A and B are shown apart, each in its own frame.
Chain A
């Protein structure tokens, strides 16, 4: 049973990470740090980190324009080294992410006063003009940071040249064929591709070597070494003619000429339209990696994929086995996957990723997704896109607990509830879960749900616009089928309805309409229109907010589910009730998650080849994964259960009373650990722990004596050596360490004395009478006689057997009582607060919530505690004492007999000792109880003293209650309307449509013409400025020419 440990270590993404995600720029966290190398291959850090300190990010307002294009956009420019990113104010018209290593020249432009403008020239000569519209000093600061960032990219610039030939767009643009003869070109390419495929298909290394040729020269025969998918060899799905591949390719070529290509691609409004009519098959793979940002990873880590494969060659793991089983079930209808070539590629990508991310390994559905990717992408391209998918676009979808999938299904349900309440209500009334149909949609990006040609168009949009597209499409599917859905009465009808809808998605949406243009609209086009028009209210923010709201619920559900399963799968639950087993599980689980259990070893401490190399996860005999705890974690676990396995310090000062808990450390605890480790694995499973606890918690007097004896009998020969007797005494003293008074110390001393006396008498030398009944008094005398000679003997010889040990224990009333009651009772199963852990720990949102989170941190709590302690001691009211382990156990309510038994012994103490004892022992009710019981024999505590103590205590209680009330007031906060999620719901509702529907319906060309002019660019003055800038000369004196420029002159 492996437990979902990672849920507790989840944290929301920071603002910086979100920004990076938005621009598809790799974040620091997505690449493992040096402390936890992934498999063998060490991924290169983000290039700018090479030995230098981190370069600064910066945002600035700017206006962007590009040579050859009229539109000018105002927006936000972000320097996220080593990338420069821009987003227009409306957040959709213009957007780009430019790696700095593609920039050859940066110049400050000589223009009108007050305008700070930079001209960026990319390696292929595209000029981007950026007006920094902030105040001059800010703009200058930005320019300086930009310069530093550029400098750091020197080495990366050199890698650009060998990298470029791997991109199809370079090949496309390098061919001399004019656009007029587009058809010719496509045909050429087809032939070209087929002839070249064998050479280029498997080796990416070859590609980088051949890149020495002239990049911009004609792409003649043999030059087409770009990375390509299976489609070029086995044919792309769909009819190329029907899909207007040629026209699309021509349009993209034109688009590339002006707006940059691959790494330098700018997203201008035509991009969105070209995207939504479906990407051309040949360009699809490259655009996928560009739009998703996976191309940056491929660029920065050119050897990783090959190394992962070569270093893990021949290794097998559970993941590789699972992959093998699914290979033949991955788009088997596509020709390539009926061939060894196609299957081999699929296998390599999945296996490489399973070694790259052993924690995730392999998840069914990835086979489908990757099979889809490989039609359009090379192995290496698909590998990196898979990384981006699992890591950023679909986080947690394929992880072992699939929490991302479960979460997004819940989010989807909540969006259905919000957007399509009638359907939601109907489904609730007939008890059908939407997830039964929608789960595979999300998990396979619709690839498994609808015909491939349409599914890939959805993938296009997902990779360009993010995961919200999955939701928008899903909602649109439900909405379009709304009427039929209201007739659904069970799962089966629902599934069949969806199935037949997807089967006819290529058919006309209005087959009987008189207008042929309308008739030509397919169901799929209608779907896109509905998705992007009616559900454009679903934004990234909506998804983020909903995920945030629902995550805690999902996490708790997953934890409860695995708890149920873990408890159910226990083979032996001893005499425990189900509830108690549940409590044990909670402690077990929270111990693993506890920071005291050491570094979070469960996150990423893998070694290659085996995903179960994590310290606490093992594979059991049946090949199943199991979570186990090591001895450090066990200490934490035991401290939660056994009263003596923790140090509880009660601090009282003038302001509060609090109890601090620490994990105790003693050999005894380790002894228990090894005693419970039934299979000598060095770790304990939940089953081990349950059986161990079962023994100690159900033990009576004799059984307790026995297990305690065995615990110290290291070689299990039935005898303790003299050393072991001492160790046993130490264990007893450890348990008694915080008990009041000296009675326990006295008892243990007497125990040692007696043990030696009896031991001498019954040691194996004289083992004849070992089992004979022994009269205590007589033996004491004889033992004392022999002690002088035998105690000098070797300390590691068998010495004391169980029978004798038992006798020695029973000779002492206190010890007898301890083994009869206290020891067993010191193990206590108290419900943890872990029920609904995530919901309880969910951070409140909103302004006040954020402030609260800032204030109520653990550190601040500690600070407050220290402060209070300081004041308390200044006022002379600071007191600390250790909570005793057993006085709790001997609380009258639990074991009424035990405390009264202490009376006789306590009477031996001097009055002064007892008074001192009470000073220290003010807290527990057990103590006051003892004191009343002992007054008759002692009578030393004067009434005055008692009263003053009571006084003090009363006052403390009042004060601490006040503090508590204050704390509660702070902790509790009402639900503010302002916090309510989903305010964003209506914001975008009135955005003007850009006529997406018309665009989809029209021919591609007509579509572009019709929409050429109505972009939301800047008008008037600013535009004029921008136009001027395009013609402006670089500033002579202040020319910011980069020293690097010539080096990368391509």
Chain B
């Protein structure tokens, strides 16, 4: 295993996916340069960036493919996500449709990408929500299916200090809150699909580093050799779930300790 040589950086190929203008490029820019720029350079096909991330026992060097979000570039995406060990699927919390697109990406990744790929679902533009910790449930929230596993609920809430799934009825304060996707809804989906889940803001930098740190921690470095995707879809599903639990358990504290960038 690579743990014996902590100095040597482990390379991780990471791909960013998501609808156009959800802020993929901004997230990467924030992560790589600690910068937020309203006018990011254009993404044609995909932009390529690298950034190192220091964990307790190893250095992870992210090679980040920031893909173009426009629908017509979709058919080019496989070129970038093949052999990727991690994926960040971004949606915009102020646009309900972007979560639908994100779900489609997750589905595609789970079927077409590496079997061991670690997927993080990230709701960006948290700064636009009036109260980033409250959960206003938007109207079309029908996806909260009853079969959502409830046994993990407690641990998940413990871990995620930011999000409190308050079971309050929908709050209609649309005047200052642009949020359309509730935390609970997205989180439930993430859990169901075995994804890491974050809400972040590229503008303020909130939670951005944490995304990458958690990914770095979650990647199973002992099985880093890419495997054919068709191989073990069923296994991976369950594996993903356990990973997710681990992450949720350890989340809040360790993320800060192993500061990134």
Contacts and interface: CB of A to CB of B under 8 A. Distances in A.
Interface stretch (B103-111, B114-122, B237-245, B251-259): B103-111
Interface in B45-85: 45-46, 48, 50, 63, 65, 68, 70-76, 78-80, 83
A655 B259 CA distance: 82
B225 to A, nearest CB: 12
Contacts of A439: 44-45, 76, 79
Nearest to B64: A492
Interface in B15-64: 20-21, 38-46, 48, 50, 63
Interface string A434-471: 01100110011000100000000000000000000000
B97 interface: yes
Interface string A551-579: 00000001001101100110000000000
Interface stretch (A26-34, A360-368, A864-872, A1025-1033): A360-368
B134 interface: no
Contact of B96 (A402, A431, A491, A622): A622
Interface stretch (A175-183, A322-330, A673-681, A815-823): A322-330
A495 B48 contact: yes
Contact of A568 (B48, B68, B75, B107): B107
Contacts of B39: 328-329, 332
B44 A568 contact: no
B42 A364 contact: yes
Given A439-B76, A491-B13, A448 B44 contact: yes
B133 interface: no
Contacts of B83: 431
Contacts of B20: 322, 325, 364
A326 B96 CA distance: 21
A365 B43 CA distance: 8
B11 interface: yes
Nearest to B70: A364
Contacts of B152: none
Contacts of B72: 363, 399-402
A448 B42 CA distance: 9
A141 interface: no
B42 A367 contact: yes
Contacts of B101: 624
Contact of A330 (B42, B65, B70, B73): B42
B45 A440 contact: yes
Interface residues of A, number: 43
Given A435-B79, A491-B48, A364 B108 contact: no
B70 A558 contact: no
A24 B178 CA distance: 51
Contacts of A491: 13, 48, 63, 65
A402 B72 CA distance: 7
Contact of B70 (A363, A368, A401, A405): A363
A625 interface: yes
A496 B50 CA distance: 10
Contacts of B71: 400, 624-625
A368 B47 CA distance: 14
A433 interface: yes
A430 to B, nearest CB: 11
A406 B45 contact: no
B41 A329 contact: yes
Given A328-B39, A491-B63, A565 B44 contact: no
A487 to B, nearest CB: 16
B75 A406 contact: yes
A368 B42 contact: yes
B48 A492 contact: yes
Contact of A329 (B40, B100, B107): B40
A443 B73 CA distance: 12
A9 B46 CA distance: 30
A660 interface: no
Contacts of A561: 75, 78
What bracket does the count of chain B residues touching chain A fall in? Answer: 35 or more
Contacts of A329: 39-43
A402 B80 CA distance: 16
B31 to A, nearest CB: 16
Interface in A938-956: none
A625 B48 CA distance: 29
Contacts of B44: 364-365, 368, 439-440, 443-444, 448
Contacts of A667: none
A990 B40 CA distance: 48
A625 B71 CA distance: 10
A444 B38 CA distance: 22
A623 interface: yes
Nearest to B62: A492
A431 B13 CA distance: 14
Nearest to B96: A622
A210 interface: no
B158 to A, nearest CB: 33
A332 B71 CA distance: 23
Interface string B138-174: 0000000000000000000000000000000000000
B75 A402 contact: yes
B75 A492 contact: no
A594 B65 CA distance: 40
Interface in A486-505: 490-492, 495-496
Contacts of B111: 568
Nearest to A440: B44
A88 B253 CA distance: 76
A401 B48 contact: no
Nearest to B45: A439
A367 B100 CA distance: 27
A490 B40 contact: no
A322 B41 contact: no
A402 B42 contact: no
Contacts of A625: 71
Contacts of A564: 112
Contacts of A433: 79
Contacts of A496: 48, 50
Contacts of B13: 490-492
Given A490-B11, A568-B111, A364 B48 contact: no
B46 A490 contact: no
A221 B42 CA distance: 40
A1029 B222 CA distance: 84
A542 B75 CA distance: 26
B199 to A, nearest CB: 20
B97 A624 contact: yes
A406 B111 CA distance: 22
Contact of A325 (B11, B21, B46, B108): B21
Contact of A490 (B63, B96, B112): B63
Interface string B216-248: 000000000000000000000000000000000
Nearest to B97: A622
A322 B96 contact: no
Given A435-B79, A568-B111, A622-B97, A402 B73 contact: yes
Interface in A392-448: 399-402, 405-406, 431, 433, 435-436, 439-440, 443-444, 448
Contacts of B97: 622-624
Contact of B63 (A363, A431, A492): A492
A375 to B, nearest CB: 16
Interface in A586-631: 622-625
B75 A401 contact: yes
In the complex, the 3 A-B pairs of residues with the closest C-beta atoms, listed nearest first? A622-B97, A328-B39, A329-B42
Given A400-B72, A406-B75, A490-B63, 16 more contacts: A322-B20, A329-B42, A332-B39, A363-B70, A367-B42, A368-B44, A436-B80, A439-B76, A443-B45, A492-B13, A561-B75, A561-B78, A565-B104, A568-B107, A569-B107, A623-B97
23 contacts: A326-B42, A329-B40, A332-B39, A364-B20, A364-B73, A368-B42, A402-B76, A433-B79, A439-B45, A440-B44, A443-B45, A448-B42, A448-B44, A491-B63, A492-B13, A492-B48, A492-B63, A495-B48, A565-B74, A565-B104, A568-B108, A623-B97, A624-B101
